[in-house]
Structure 1
Amino acid sequence: MVSDTDLFKDIRPYRDDEVAGAIQRLIRDDEFIGAIAKYRFSTLSGIGGSFVKALIRLYLGWRWRKLDSVRQIQMEVAGYMEKMIARTTSGISYSGLEQLKPGVGYLFISNHRDIALDPAFVNWGLHCHGLDTVRIAIGDNLLRKPCAAELMKLNKSFIVKRSAKGPREMMKAFSELSAYLRHSLDDGHSIWIAQKEGRAKDGNDKTDPAILKMFYMEGKRQKIPFGDYINSLNLVPVSISYEYDPGDLAKARELHAKATHGAYEKSEFEDVQSIVQGIVGQKGRVHVSFGQPVFGDFENADQLATAIDRQIHANYHLFPSNLLAAGQTAQVDPSAAEVFERHIAQIPAELRELVLSMYARPVLNKGQ
């Protein structure tokens, strides 16, 4: 039998026997070491750059010397997650975890607000609940740097080839992806994937039926009816809500540029900057809600998208920031209102309505 190493080698995450090699490549990567030097030792990296980088290489070589499995990598990540949660959130809560069963592969389809933290917070909940972490779908647009690809694939990320051009190439890429999802689920590995390409910058969480059609490509190849195949995927909608979105200002700037100039041009490594901002920025409280597995007599992707959206909107946890932005002030504590007002006051005047709208949208969706 052909292993997934051969079938899905160009998109799958690293396996245990590939961990040590990937770590050595990271330690030798000048750009990766330089980024750490700039972020952690910005005052020293200019005057003693080569010395600082040499020390970082020595430290990482010592720190990571015994890491030789994906699980060990994830336990290392868990330590950083714990510190990040303590420093940048007012606490994280979960609902729906109790209905998930150990050893079962779930296809978690999630709303998407933060590039790295959405799946990270899903993983943290699963980890703390004694369940296995997910394999994470990530667009190849985020892997332009070799070190980024190494880091993502070490952390159970698999590649979605968004850069595929032309109908034939795209069909091949999505067929491979659909088969990989099926293969992972059959082996008991859960998957995290966003409900659409890119984050919901306007706060409006809507599932793209094209994603669901991709899910079905493997079922179609096997000549299984749409509804039957979807019901076999253990598809669970996930709602992630942030009291304060560290990227709200950047998202508003992009929306404003599109509204006023008709287009927005991303800088070369803007996605990486967004990842860093999401990690270090203050988020207030965070809630992750796992919905009920989606089952039904679905005839097409549009019907399925409606069912997923219904759960994501209903399970979205509304914070005071959402209620205040939507004008529902009666049930909000005055101290929370004051914090929100200070936050909005820091937003440039021309962008405030966009930011308010992005916080208000989940309230409107929940009420529909």
Structure 2
Amino acid sequence: MSKFDSIRPFYDAEANKAIRQIIDDPMMEAMMNFTFPHENPAHWKDLMRHTHSLRDFQINFIYPALMKVLEKSSDGLTTGGFEVLKPNTAYLYISNHRDIILDTSLLNACLYEKGLVMTTSAIGDNLIKKPFLHTLSRLNRNFAIRRGLSGRSLFESSLEVSEYIRKSLLNENRSVWTAQREGRTKDGNDITQKGVLKMLTLAEGGENPFGYFEKIQVVPVSISYEYDPTDSLKMPELLAKSRDEKYVKHENEDFVNLLRGIIGTKKRIHIQVNGILDKEIKAISSLDTTQSEKLTHLATLIDHKIWSGYKLWPSNYIAHDLLYGSETFSAEYAPAEKDAFEKRMTGKVDTSDPVLLKSFLSMYAYPVDNSLKAKEKS
């Protein structure tokens, strides 16, 4: 085995063999019949058998599948800020994380359409336990993050991931996507975990590991869904948290979340690139302070960049007004939009339970509060 075999995507030389292993899987057939509803399956299967690179697989199969998902379950995708990015250049994209598959898939679709380097993207190994999903994720250029580790095993795994990311960015000119925290944000309050940033520096070593961020190009990204397709599925975990109880996932819960994210209603979606943090990182690096404090400064900076890049939808403003019993943002939405949101809410959660109601509304309201914090900071 080579160094990163346990976590890396397939190499191009391995792509065709991997495709042939899953080409007749019922899940692949369902996925492609959804993507190409008017084509004879023999046609797309023949194309797959002649596919020999990850890029070709992504462009010819993953991209059209994603476009069909957008067509069927959203009111469209808009973007902003991509003009600051250059072709043939590797970036480390750090974004808020709401949906297991779509966040990184939508970003890659935008990068492809704009002629920019697509990413290799982090995914928790808990999400790809099924053999088909594990193979598909590696064909889609995902690298695995091992979950549930502690102690020495956690450190060794984190170091391996850090080294893989460094190699991708600096040696292979391959962009990388990672979430600002471990796992999705369930409550809508997008906060960068300093531990994620520390993990990124592990491969740097030496007396100034923070200097790693000066060698790469860090790009904060904001992803805004008008409706979170998995909002109601996040309620049990939020309820347990409110009771200070340990939340235990049900069998296949991650897979259900994955599917709901793909097929669930999203309405409008916006992806915003929030600049390249070159000057800001140099300023932090020059501070006469500890490595830990520099990471804290960077985490706060990324938070404010992501918050400032939100596209606030009527759903956010409606939830904020409902949560606080006000009409502060009533000019930002129409009565019909409020009625539609309330109808969706009552159909998804027991609104007679104050904890559930508050959790659901907060999920949509937090981006409004955080956006206001970012404006105060600027």
Specify the alignment match of 1:72 in structure 2.
56
What secondary structure does 1:326 align onto? helix
Specify the alignment match of 2:198 in structure 1.
213
Specify the alignment match of 1:96 in structure 2.
81
What secondary structure does 2:228 align onto? coil
> How far apart are 1:104 and its partner, in Å?
1.1
Instruction: Name which of 154, 167, 183 aligns with 1:170.
Output: 154
What secondary structure does 1:102 align onto? coil
Distance 1:38 1:84, change over 3 A: closer
- Contact in 2 for aligned 1:206/1:309 (Cα 8 Å): yes
CA distance in 2, matches of 1:35, 1:61: 10
Specify the alignment match of 1:23 in structure 2.
19
Amino acid at match of 1:229: Y
Residues 19-78 of structure 1: per-residue CA shift (max 9 Å, x gap): 1111122146xxx4268569979xxxxxxxxxxxxx98x776435221111111101111
Specify the alignment match of 1:352 in structure 2.
357
Specify the alignment match of 2:326 in structure 1.
none
Instruction: Name which of 313, 324, 327 aligns with 2:318.
Output: 324
Specify the alignment match of 1:307 in structure 2.
301
What secondary structure does 2:88 align onto? coil
Specify the alignment match of 1:45 in structure 2.
none
Instruction: Name which of 2, 16, 41 aligns with 1:6.
Output: 2
What secondary structure does 2:344 align onto? helix
Amino acid at match of 1:9: D
> How far apart are 1:7 and its partner, in Å?
2.8
> How far apart are 1:197 and its partner, in Å?
0.9
> How far apart are 1:252 and its partner, in Å?
1.6
CA distance in 2, matches of 1:100, 1:342: 41
Alignment of 1:105-184 (within 5 A): 105-165=90-150, 167-184=151-168
> How far apart are 1:341 and its partner, in Å?
2.3
Residues 103-139 of structure 1: per-residue CA shift (max 9 Å, x gap): 1110101101001001011111111111121101011
> How far apart are 1:168 and its partner, in Å?
2.1
Residues 134-162 of structure 1: per-residue CA shift (max 9 Å, x gap): 10101111121111110000000011122
Instruction: Name which of 6, 20, 33 aligns with 2:26.
Output: 33
Amino acid at match of 1:342: K
> How far apart are 1:269 and its partner, in Å?
1.4
> How far apart are 1:80 and its partner, in Å?
0.8
Residues 222-257 of structure 1: per-residue CA shift (max 9 Å, x gap): x26244221222111111010000101111232123
The normalised TM-score by structure 2 is: 0.85
Distance 1:318 1:261, change over 3 A: same
Amino acid at match of 2:312: L
- Contact in 2 for aligned 1:140/1:163 (Cα 8 Å): no
> How far apart are 1:336 and its partner, in Å?
2.2
Distance 1:35 1:305, change over 3 A: same
The normalised TM-score by structure 1 is: 0.87
> How far apart are 1:98 and its partner, in Å?
0.4
Identity of counterpart residues, as a percentage? 37
Matched residue count = 344
Residues 253-286 of structure 1: per-residue CA shift (max 9 Å, x gap): 3212343471322112111111110000110100
Specify the alignment match of 1:252 in structure 2.
235
Compute the RMSD of aligned alpha carbons. 2.3
What secondary structure does 2:204 align onto? helix
> How far apart are 1:365 and its partner, in Å?
0.9
Where structure 1 has 5 or more consecutive residues not aligned to the other structure, the ranges are 42-54
- Contact in 1 for aligned 2:92/2:217 (Cα 8 Å): yes
Specify the alignment match of 2:370 in structure 1.
365
